[in-house]
Every structure is written in structure tokens, then in C-alpha cells.
Amino acid sequence: EFRRVLFRSWKIFARDMEETARGDAVVLETDLRRGLGQNEFAVYYQPIVRLEDGSVAGFEALLRWHHPEKGVVSPTDFIAHSEETGLIIALGRFALERTASDLADWQRHFPLEPPLFASVNVSRRQLREENFALSIEKLLAAGNFREGTFKLEVTESAIEIDQEARRILEWLRDMGAGLAIDDFGTGLSTLSQLKDLPFETVKIDRSFLARRGGVQEEADATAVMSSIVALAHELKRTVIVEGVESERDAIWLKQLGCEYAQGFYFSAPLPSEIGRAYV
């Protein structure tokens, strides 16, 4: 009897949870649409640094939502949901266009050699949207920035390695978009699969930096990281390590031959106005 009562109340609880979740999703969707209409979204930029000399090579574009009540909302709280509802198409277009225009500005104001690059995240749903490659072609054809400096990041888990995905990626590459595979090491793909995909850059996930502590752990982490880096280099890919939070990590990665790093140690993502203020 006790178990039956328990089971029944568990079922009621589970249903309540489900309804709450569904209710929350509807509220979030309405709120996202409102926010889009009110221009509450912004693109922040996190520097990607050359480990060789600490100079800024480029930036990753990261969406932020300036919510009137909640303050700054991180994409982890709305990207997955906007993929489900399709809102990612509008949000993603905003991020791509804003970044393209900011990149053109930076290159005008800071004519560096090699030129600054910018890298925009693209989700699975965007990649498979009918007009996606065409819209990128348009951005590139406008010719507002230097060749090869506009890059797209696709998270490893978003890539089902089928003909369709490969065809779109190859098209993008042939048009001159730089391609990076994001969060590398969190999914199931391996570097040997990577050799058949048109990514020029591998972004190694920050989980490969975490929990280095004891001597053995340190040695293991070094073995893993150095073999990923070596294989990526063997395949003529460039390496960026994400989530670098300490000088120790930066030095370690430099010694292992990583070209680029990105993380709070160098800088958090910042609004572009801060960059403009220096101009």
C-alpha cells in the first residue's frame, strides 16, 4: 500500500514537473521573441590569443541577452531552446551580421598583419537551413573584410557525419569561410574522422584542462593533450584551446605546441563598445 501511494504521488509529481517545464518553455519562447523585437541581444567578443607572443589574433563572437529583469543572460540558457523552436535562425543571423560588421570595423581601424579574425558559432539547425550557405556567401562577397578572416564554429556533437553535412561544410569552405570544430573531445568523433572533414581549426574543449593536480594526473593530461595536438598538426590543422584560466595552463599549452588559447586568464567575452572606445 505504501509503495502504491508513493508511486502515485511520484506520478503526480512527475506530471507537475513536466507541465511546469512545458509552461516554462512557452514563457521563454514568448520572452525570446519579445527580446528579439526589442533589440535586447548583443554580441560579445572573447580574444583568441597567440601563445607564442601573447598577441590577440582574433575573437570568438558570443551572444548575450540583456534581459530587462534578469540582467545579462548567457546563451546556455537560451540557445538549446531557440534551436528547438527555430528562433536560432533569427538569432544566428543577428550574430553573423553583427560580427561581420564589427570585423570590418576592426580591420579598418587596426590594419594588422596577419589581419584580425572573427569566429561565429553555428548550430546544427542553422547549418541545415536552406539559405544558410547562401547568406554566408553574401556576407563574404560583400568584401568588407580580408579573405579567410571570417570563421564559423560548429560544435562536434552537431556534426552527424553524413553526406549532407559534409557537402554544406565543403561548400562553405570553398566560398572562403574558415571552419573550426568546436568543443573537440566532448563527442564521439575522433581525429581520424577529422581528416575527412574540411575543418582548418580544432578547438579543444576545456575539459582537457580541468582537474590537473597530482603528478600522475599531470602526466596523463600532458599525454592526452600532446597527442591531440600532435595529431591535429599532422593533419595540418590549427589548434585553439578553450577555457584557459591560469598562467600555468597557458605556459603548459605553449610548451605542448598549441598555437592559440582563449579563456578568462586572457579575457572574458566583452561587448564590442569596449574595443571601439580604444579606437
If one asks whether residue 63 binds ligand C2E (CB under 6 A), the answer comes out as yes
If one asks whether residue 79 binds ligand C2E (CB under 6 A), the answer comes out as yes
Quick one: which segment of 1-9, 137-145, 166-174, 261-269 binds ligand C2E (CB under 6 A)? Answer: 261-269
If one asks whether residue 31 binds ligand C2E (CB under 6 A), the answer comes out as no
Report the chain's terminal Cα–Cα distance, integer Å.
74
Quick one: which segment of 9-17, 73-81, 104-112, 233-241 binds ligand C2E (CB under 6 A)? Answer: 73-81
Quick one: which of 46, 82, 107, 121 contacts Mg ion (CB under 5 A)? 121
199 and 184 in contact (C-beta within 8 Å)? no
**Is the Cβ of residue 23 or residue 240 nearer to ligand C2E in the bound state?**
240
| CA–CA separation, 180 and 182 (whole Å) | 6
**Is the Cβ of residue 31 or residue 169 nearer to Mg ion in the bound state?**
169
CA angle at 77 for the pair 72 and 79, rounded to the nearest 5°: 110
If one asks whether residue 156 binds Mg ion (CB under 5 A), the answer comes out as no
**Is the Cβ of residue 83 or residue 183 nearer to Mg ion in the bound state?**
183
Show the binding pattern over residues 179-218: x = contacts ligand C2E (CB under 6 A), - = does not: ---xx----------------------x------------
Beta-carbon contacts of 223 under 8 Å, excluding residues fewer than 6 positions away, are none
Grid cell 570585423 is found at: 103
If one asks whether residue 119 binds ligand C2E (CB under 6 A), the answer comes out as no
Q: Cα torsion for 248, 250, 252, 258, to the nearest 10°?
A: 170
Q: What is the closest distance, in whole angstroms, from the C-beta atom of residue 105 to ligand C2E in the complex?
A: 18
Q: Are strands 178-184 and 201-204 parallel, antiparallel or unpaired?
A: parallel
Instruction: Please give the C-alpha separations between residue 9 and each of 16, 19, 141, in angstroms, as whole numbers.
Output: 10, 15, 61
Q: Could you tell which of ligand C2E, Mg ion, none binds residue 249, using a CB distance below 5 to 8 A set by kind?
A: none
Subset of residues 193 to 212 that bind Mg ion, contact rule: CB under 5 A:
none
If one asks whether residue 240 binds ligand C2E (CB under 6 A), the answer comes out as no
Of 248, 246, 228, 247, whose CA–CA distance to 237 is shortest? 228
Q: What is the closest distance, in whole angstroms, from the C-beta atom of residue 68 to ligand C2E in the complex?
A: 20
User: What sign has the CA pseudo-torsion 193, 57, 249, 222?
Assistant: positive
Quick one: which of 129, 153, 249, 259 contacts Mg ion (CB under 5 A)? 153
Q: Residue 199 burial (CB < 10 Å; 0-12/13-18/19+)? A: buried
**Is the Cβ of residue 121 or residue 149 nearer to Mg ion in the bound state?**
121
b vs e for 104-135, b when ≥16 Cβ sit within 10 Å of the residue's Cβ? bbbbeeeeeeebbbbbbbbbbbbbebeebbeb
The footprint of ligand C2E (CB under 6 A) covers 46, 61-63, 74-76, 79, 88, 92, 95, 121-123, 153, 155, 182-183, 206, 242-245, 263-264, 269
